[in-house]
Structure formats: C-alpha cells, structure tokens
Amino acid sequence: MTADVFARYQDVWLPQGPLRVYRAGPEGAPCVVLLHGAMLDTAELTWRHLMPVLARDRQVVAVDMPRHGGSRPWEGLVDQARMERVVDELLDHFGISRAALVGLSMGGGVGIGYALARPERVSGLVAINPGGLDDKRPWQLLTWLGLQWGALLRWSARWVASPSLLRRSMVKTFTQGEGTRDFEVLMGLIEAEARRRVEHGERALDDWQIAAFGPWRMRLNHTLVLAGLRVPSLWVHGKLDTLVSEAVMRRAAESAPRASYVGIDGAGHVALLDQPDAVNGAIVSFLDGLD
C-alpha cells in the first residue's frame, strides 16, 4: 500500500513554479495535509509509513515542498511567509475549506505559522520536531555568517550528494542505522533528491532555514506567540532528537492552549522513520479526537 499512494500525482502550477501533490483516501472525508522537512526530504520519503494509514478513512494531501521532489524549478525567495501562501494556494486549488496540518521539522514550522495566521482553515495541528521554536541556536553568529555565502552552500550541495557520504550520514541520523525499516528504499529516495538539488543548482539548505536566522537571534520564533494558537495541537518529540530539544518542545506545548505532548522512545529527528508505528499511533489518536 505504501507504493500505491505515491504511484500517482498531480502537478499544480503556481506563479513561482510547480507543486507536486499526492492525494489518497475517500473523497468527502476529513482532510489532512502533510508538510515535510527541509534539505533532502520529500513527501514520498517522510510520509511513506503515515500516509497509507491515514488514507484508510481520511482524505490525505501530501505535497513536495517548493524545490523538493517534483516541485521544481521554483523562482524567488521561499521563506516562511511564502510557504504559508503555498498552503493557502494548495487548499484553494482543491477546494478544501478546512484541514488538519501535520508537519515535520520545516513543515512543522510552516504549519505552526499557518495555524496561527489562518485558524479558520485549520482543524488541528500536529508538529513533529518542528523548526521555528528557538530564540537562539548554537553558534548563532558563525552560522548566520556561513549562511550568507551562496556559493559555499551550492558547493556544499554537491559535496553532500556523494552516495558514500550520504549513507554514512543517514546511518548516524536514523536511530537504528541500517536496521531502519526499508533502509535501502529510503537511501534510494535520499540519493535521488540529492542529485536533483545539484542538477537544479540549488543550495544545500532551504530558503526557509536561511531566512529564519539572524546574526544575534532567530528571526523566526513561533514560541513568542503560541499563546494565541486557536486550534488543538499535538507536539511530537523524538526523545533522541539532537536538533530540537525536549525543553524547547515542552515549552511550546505548555505555551499553546489546547495542546498535548508526546515523547517517542528510540526516535530522533526523523521520528516518523525511526519509530513509525509509535508516531502513527499518536497522530491517529489525535486526529480521531478532532473527528
């Protein structure tokens, strides 16, 4: 069933470029929109275990974010504000008045911002190890300086695309290494995405990541306004995540009204691939409560 939900797709043409969209599930059922993370993530990679489960009784829309997967080429800056407009345009295109949003990392940060700005279109929010919650990051100034060098970031994309380097990196990223479910399939998807990034002359990091950084503080910090979140939310944290800390996640869940928090044992940043059954169960339970 995993292959079936990604066997067919539709390309939606927006002013800055195409948006590749995968849809599954019964028409007229409650809608869920899936927003993946940055860098080498794609819809087919991130949601391969979750989308088939949700599609049993929900209308599911999974999108390749701009400059990911089939959503290429794209023109102009694709920062938080543009990503939120992409979600709006996606819902408008398919005539979806209201949907639950499920986002990982960058997608979680985009979903949080959209839910804050357009609560009337969001029935619920699931944020999985989301970005956009920090006031400061480690090595803030040095990181910001490095992000100003476009040529270096494009060279980095070529360096990262080395299959041997990618494999070593993902063995460390996945908490179970090569024992991760469908590991070889996942590596094939990741390697293909790395090649596409080089072919299109893209940088190693997304605009969303680069624009979020300031020299002294993060420019994107949803935590400051989470008290105004008007939709139910679930905050899912991989307990072994080295990018988003438990303290940051708990602070976010405590700041948002009508929020719940779940920590996933044995999972890191890509919790959906590290511990798919546990993450799927938490998300389905939350969505059932919305229904």
Query: Can you give the pLDDT of all 291 residues of the chain as single tens digits?
Result: 455 899 999 999 999 999 999 999 999 999 999 999 999 999 999 999 999 999 999 999 999 999 999 999 999 999 999 999 999 999 999 999 999 999 999 999 999 999 999 999 999 999 999 999 999 998 899 989 988 888 878 888 888 889 999 999 999 999 999 999 999 999 999 999 999 999 999 999 999 999 999 999 999 999 999 999 999 999 999 999 999 999 999 999 999 999 999 999 999 999 999 999 999 999 999 999 997
Which residues span the domain enclosing 110?
A: 2-136+220-290
In one-letter notation, the amino acid at residue 219 is R
Following CA atoms 77, 233, 45, 89 in sequence, which dihedral angle do they give, to the nearest 10 degrees? -40
Identify the CATH number of the domain in which residue 249 sits: 3.40.50.1820
Nearest C-alpha neighbor of 40 from the set 63, 68, 60, 10 = 68
Residue 156 covered by a domain: no
Number of Cβ within a 10 Å radius of residue 147: 18
Residue 132 covered by a domain: yes
pLDDT score at 3: 56
Residue 191 covered by a domain: no
Residue 14 covered by a domain: yes
**Pairing mode, strands 99-104 and 31-35:** parallel
| Distance between CA atoms of residues 167 and 184, nearest Å | 10
Q: How far is CA 94 from the centre of its chain?
A: 21
Residue 160 covered by a domain: no
Q: How far is CA 83 from the centre of its chain?
A: 11
Count how many domains the chain has.
1
DSSP one-letter string for 49-115: THHHHHTTTSEEEEEPPTTSTT-----S---HHHHHHHHHHHHHHTT-S-EEEEEETHHHHHHHHHH
Q: What is the pTM of this model?
A: 0.96
Give yes or no for a contact between 100 and 122, defined as CB atoms under 8 angstroms apart. Answer: yes
Residue 162 covered by a domain: no
Residue 147 covered by a domain: no
What are the backbone dihedrals phi and psi of residue 158, each rounded to the nearest 5 degrees, phi first? -70, -40
Residue 175 covered by a domain: no
| Distance between CA atoms of residues 286 and 262, nearest Å | 11
Backbone torsion region of residue 69, taken as left when φ is above 0, otherwise alpha when ψ lies between -120 and 50, otherwise beta: left
Number of Cβ within a 10 Å radius of residue 276: 18
Half-sphere exposure of 248 (CA within 13 A, CB side): 22
Tokens of 234: 């679930």
CA 171, 174, 177 angle in degrees (round to 5)?
45
